[in-house]
Structure 1
């Protein structure tokens, strides 16, 4: 009997390469070393018929290096809309004619949102504000809100996403007991100037460095589908890996009305799944969280494929200005997939 031919990849110039998933099996699954930028690009270029192989390997990597548990998080917007920055994907920018208007959530509303989040079984509650960076009023309200959440008997872990920080603000958040700080790099460094012009990628990086050095966990991800090339998606994955984040939220562009990206196409399901698998192979030990846009991009079936393709965390309920799925539906999905939810006691 003739042996089956060894599976290989090919560059467009005809050079034969060793199969990238076989390389990943030894490099990532066995040794826990993330893929290089060139290797991530080859994963992103895999044909549709190999996506199931990619997702199966990514799931093995997740189980090997992260375990079976899924971290569940809820988010709430403390300050919505009116942001001075021009992030082209964001309906909260005051520079675009989106329907979102500026609004503040009061402290009792924050306490209710935290209580409702904890009741879903979530271990993380993230307080978000649409600002360039926090002023004294905002930090005071965050401090008051955290104190009120604790006074309510809620011991859920509290994260914040308040834009770019100074060292003094980082220190203040640590003193408040903030567990994790989210500040997304959004996209590859080479693509960032096409997405945002009012601040730089480097300014975001500096905030993340200070957060890491202060001992808070780092949550940093971005959005797939903002006109970046596959090469830039690979660049982004490896730049994130170099930061060694504790968590990477994977968002998929929602073409929000009134933003410069309102007519951008939704990311196709196979491309989104390739991105999920590729990011897992680039970040084998990191919490990889399904975030905004997954409902639009994947639907129910695709979401399950993603959860079985390397994702090990999920945001439940609504997002900042977009509706998500009811939390009960996501919790039912996790139950169907026999994926245990990380217990709060294990995060404290």
Structure 2
């Protein structure tokens, strides 16, 4: 095993120069680095991002088509119908969906993700998604992604036929820690959906949430799980403890620990789109957002999330201008 002073040198040669992601053990060594080496770690992660992904940043907006009332027991989620959280079931109509897509496109975003709080889509929801996609396409030039839970093979084919560009389904955490987070379905069921999505030709978006009580070793395991899956995009969320959920009393992840994780995931996934997602405002604040974008991040969700407030879109876009990070153009690819 290398010492803490060695691992950054190894990563520089292995990841930056050759484009080979760190192994699980190597990611753990990065996560265990002392705080005094954080700035060097972030600088290396930024260099890796620039070398293997370039300076462009992809901007995405998300909207909840069906909120709350979910039958699953994801312990972080206030949309579960099993917890005494304040989120209640609601559905969005098609005109509101189109308007949200229009507002998202105005920010410069190239991706609009339709999300539903469900175990998996039923016929009513799929019909609404199909109608929503058709209506959006008639008025907005934007790529459409979906996040509708676990899918059957037939549902995967139907979404691909609708022209869904990317499908999001998060593994959430390391395989070994997953039973501490969800008990109503398995990690393997999520993996099966992702495999079918890839086979159908849609881009795979898969990430998770950091700060749910997992160990550093499990965080490294999660990075290795994602590297094996090799998704096009990895959204990194940080737990925002929601009242009424089983994780509502957990502490917020310290900012330096969160930034080290961002950098470590970049070193494990040098060519992957790594997206700032939920919880970054609470965990990192404004300065942390800048350090993350200069520490491996190359995509952001702008505006609000599903049940929590995000940074104003203008704040993120102004930051990218200040950092001289161009927005990824529609239909461009890494």
Q: Normalising to structure 1: TM-score of the pair?
A: 0.95
* Number of the residue aligned with 2:68: 81
**Residue 180 of structure 2 corresponds to residue 194 of structure 1:** yes
Which among 220, 234, 249 is matched to residue 248 of structure 1?
234
**Aligned partners of 1:329 and 1:275: how far apart in 2?**
23
* Number of the residue aligned with 1:158: 144
Deviation at 1:347, TM superposition (A): 5.3
**Aligned partners of 1:347 and 1:37: how far apart in 2?**
28
* Number of the residue aligned with 1:33: 20
* Number of the residue aligned with 1:183: 169
Going from structure 1 to structure 2, the CA distance change for 1:345 and 1:185 (only over 3 Å counts) comes to closer
**Residue 102 of structure 2 corresponds to residue 108 of structure 1:** no
* Number of the residue aligned with 1:9: 3
**Residue 246 of structure 2 corresponds to residue 257 of structure 1:** no
**Aligned partners of 1:245 and 1:345: how far apart in 2?**
18
Unpaired runs of 5+ residues, structure 1, are: 1-7, 11-17
* Number of the residue aligned with 1:60: 47
* Number of the residue aligned with 1:205: 191
Give 3-state SS (helix, strand or coil) of 2:98's partner: helix
Q: Once superposed, which parts of structure 1, at least 4 consecutive aligned residues long, lie more than 3 Å away?
A: none
**Aligned partners of 2:137 and 2:11: how far apart in 1?**
44
**Aligned partners of 1:204 and 1:226: how far apart in 2?**
18
* Number of the residue aligned with 1:3: none
Q: What CA deviation, in whole Å up to 9, does each residue of 1:21-60 have, x standing for no partner?
A: 1000110001111000100000000000100000000000
Deviation at 1:346, TM superposition (A): 2.2
Deviation at 1:101, TM superposition (A): 0.2
**Residue 310 of structure 2 corresponds to residue 324 of structure 1:** yes
* Number of the residue aligned with 2:10: 23
* Number of the residue aligned with 1:266: 252
Give 3-state SS (helix, strand or coil) of 2:267's partner: helix
Q: Normalising to structure 2: TM-score of the pair?
A: 0.98
**Aligned partners of 2:217 and 2:279: how far apart in 1?**
22
Number of residues paired by the alignment? 333
Give 3-state SS (helix, strand or coil) of 1:76's partner: strand
**Residue 286 of structure 2 corresponds to residue 292 of structure 1:** no
Deviation at 1:344, TM superposition (A): 1.2
Give 3-state SS (helix, strand or coil) of 1:324's partner: coil
**Residue 115 of structure 2 corresponds to residue 121 of structure 1:** no
Deviates more, 1:18-27 or 1:101-110: 18-27
Aligned ranges 1:234-245 → 2 under 5 Å: 234-245=220-231
Deviation at 1:345, TM superposition (A): 4.3
Going from structure 1 to structure 2, the CA distance change for 1:251 and 1:228 (only over 3 Å counts) comes to same
**Aligned partners of 1:36 and 1:98: how far apart in 2?**
39
**Aligned partners of 2:284 and 2:323: how far apart in 1?**
16
Q: What CA deviation, in whole Å up to 9, does each residue of 1:172-209 have, x standing for no partner?
A: 00000000000000000000001000000000000000
Task: Verify the 8 A CA contact 1:241 1:282 in the aligned structure 2.
Answer: yes
**Residue 156 of structure 2 corresponds to residue 170 of structure 1:** yes
* Number of the residue aligned with 1:147: 134
* Number of the residue aligned with 1:314: 300
**Aligned partners of 2:20 and 2:332: how far apart in 1?**
26
Task: Verify the 8 A CA contact 1:123 1:347 in the aligned structure 2.
Answer: no
**Aligned partners of 2:330 and 2:160: how far apart in 1?**
20
**Aligned partners of 1:150 and 1:315: how far apart in 2?**
21
